[in-house]
A and B are shown apart, each in its own frame.
Chain A
């Protein structure tokens, strides 16, 4: 069923829904609303997350306990205001049973109340906003990636032990960069390290060279860097061009050298340390099968596909257990809270205190031939701290 056909049937079902007796309504297909950025600068990330979700859906089959399901896609364009209107459309017009989304932290914050007020189950594959595990947490919300805290703070003690005592922080100047810098700085200094300098290049900087002499003069042992997209490409290439990479190591969250920028960075990325909850080369049977399934879907496995896939595993796993009954949201929440997901990243479960994932965090380094991440260390069962969350 393509989208237009679906809208027609959905509209017909919507009109008739009030008049039909209850048992008939239960036989309607389950409606899954997917809200992701499918255009603009996050388009590739949205497509990959969706592809991962569809791999999980394919494994689950076209029906759960005899009940079929439909997937309604909406494009939030990584813009909070668009996200809000699209999520309202999914809830009010399409009357979806569950919402899967999104990537941009600002969109996640903007749509939070709309989903929670409507009491819909919300599976968030990527958006890293810390608030969703703190004051903004909700019993309806489950996250499948990491919080910003999880992607930065655990690196502090690790870096102190493995990379050295003196760190320089260089991150892009907006919420995600600043949050990660603050988390890293706190954890690193608590572990006994010293931050010898900081700089905050603006978003969309193309020339990082003017920042380098100050880094050199501060004589750090490594730089904690957080950039994404074309910013990450320019930073990594220029850092290598200016010969800093040899003497001063680089460490950052996965997006610094993720699969969407690594080909463009090329050799300049060699030796850069990063962390992620998922690494395509991680050698466990579940992941080998997942990487193969991604290839068959025409994709290279990455952490977006993994998180999308795990969202589908959780959703369809819970629906199997309720025999396709999607009306009892509380029961679905309970099942997912207790679920142990066999993820390509290793075992995945949720923190009963904030519904944030508890999973291993892999420390990787970029190696050549072909360019790839190699896991060098695994931090077990990293969980977001308890900070003001009441479910």
Chain B
């Protein structure tokens, strides 16, 4: 492998990794606070991409699509939590299965609806002319759009990191992901926090949907692959841990990128091998606390 190839591979892995952070954040925070794996997360990612497409087509600007999709899907996520998940959890506070089934049902509903509304045809979200072509970075050239995808996702992820790690809201979120019951006893309004976290996670997934959808194509099942990756990332990083989601996602991006280059026939099992090794050495993931659950 030439130096150029190594650097390119590194940047590609980073682009995918930071976008994975956006998808993984919602999954891990929701799990941390509610103990629910949100199966509808892939559908929210997909709906984000379509919302971006609709906004971009009707308003004639990719940028408006990128700005409008996250809050719209964020509201949808908040609504899901407030009017579907919360009543269910209040009625059956001990069940982990029912919320899981609810989100699974919702994912089927959203995918089916997308097929009815937008059809099963493969469609594409065009990138703005400004982001066409490629840029030179020292010895390598990298597509402008991919660089944008890297920077945009990194900025978003950094903003979320600041909120989670440096604000009082973030302190409450971290407390609630560590131990929801204790946080509630200490006066944190965990119900409101659940809605906020659901909205935040959905919005971030939608942003990733628009950013990544532009690199590939849009279809009702487009979310399945990326959310599986995000799930692997948070299992490696530690379920419920935000730091773990970041580290796991960035690691997974590099494993995928270099796995393809160095072990082409073995890269799919390689990812699961990494996960298995991490789980053997640290059963609750790199940043998961061992005394929980």
A residues in contact (CB < 8 Å) with B: 41, 43-44, 199-202, 204, 206-207, 209-214, 216-217, 229-230, 233-234, 237-238, 241-243, 260-261, 263-266
Contact = CB atoms under 8 A, between A and B. Distances in A.
A204 B122 contact: no
Contact of B215 (A44, A213, A241, A264): A241
Contact of B124 (A199, A200, A265): A265
Given A210-B260, A211-B264, 9 more contacts: A206-B216, A210-B257, A211-B260, A213-B261, A214-B264, A233-B217, A242-B143, A260-B122, A264-B124
Contacts of A212: 8
A230 B216 contact: yes
A229 B221 CA distance: 12
B249 interface: no
12 contacts: A43-B120, A199-B264, A200-B264, A210-B9, A210-B260, A210-B261, A217-B1, A233-B217, A234-B216, A237-B217, A243-B141, A263-B124
B1 A206 contact: no
Contacts of A216: 5
Contacts of A199: 260, 264
Contacts of B225: 204, 206
Contact of B146 (A43, A241, A263): A241
A204 B141 CA distance: 27
A209 B120 contact: no
Nearest to B19: A207
Contacts of A237: 124, 215-217
A213 B121 contact: no
Nearest to A204: B225
B5 A202 contact: no
Give the interface centre of A43, A199, A204, A207 by most chain B CB atoms within 10 Å: A207
Given A200-B264, A233-B216, A237-B216, A213 B124 contact: no
Given A214-B5, A238-B215, A261 B260 contact: no
B4 A213 contact: yes
B42 interface: no
A43 B216 CA distance: 20
A261 B218 CA distance: 11
Contacts of A41: 120, 221
B222 interface: yes
Nearest to A264: B124
Main secondary structure of the interface of A (DSSP, over half): helix
A51 to B, nearest CB: 15
Interface of B: 1-2, 4-5, 8-9, 12-13, 15-16, 120-124, 126, 134, 141, 143, 145-146, 212, 215-217, 219, 221-222, 225-226, 256-261, 264-265, 268
Contacts of B257: 209-210
A44 B120 contact: yes
Given A199-B264, A202-B268, A241 B145 contact: yes
A236 to B, nearest CB: 10
A170 to B, nearest CB: 11
Contacts of B221: 41
B1 A213 contact: yes
The 7 closest A-B pairs by CB, nearest first: A213-B5, A210-B260, A264-B124, A233-B217, A241-B143, A234-B216, A209-B12
Contacts of B4: 213
B122 A229 contact: yes
Nearest to A201: B260
Contacts of B146: 209, 241
The interface centre, meaning the residue of A41, A199, A206 with most chain B CB atoms within 10 A of its CB, is A206
B226 A200 contact: no
A41 B122 CA distance: 10
A228 to B, nearest CB: 10
Nearest to B225: A206
B12 to A, nearest CB: 4
B143 A217 contact: no
Contacts of A210: 9, 12-13, 256-261
A204 B223 CA distance: 11
Nearest to A39: B120
B143 A213 contact: no
Contacts of B217: 230, 233-234, 237, 264
Nearest to B4: A213
Nearest to B259: A210
A309 B257 CA distance: 45
Q: Which of A41, A200, A210 has the most CB of B within 10 A?
A: A210
A154 to B, nearest CB: 28
Given A207-B16, A217-B2, A241-B145, A266 B222 contact: no
A241 B4 CA distance: 17
B134 to A, nearest CB: 5
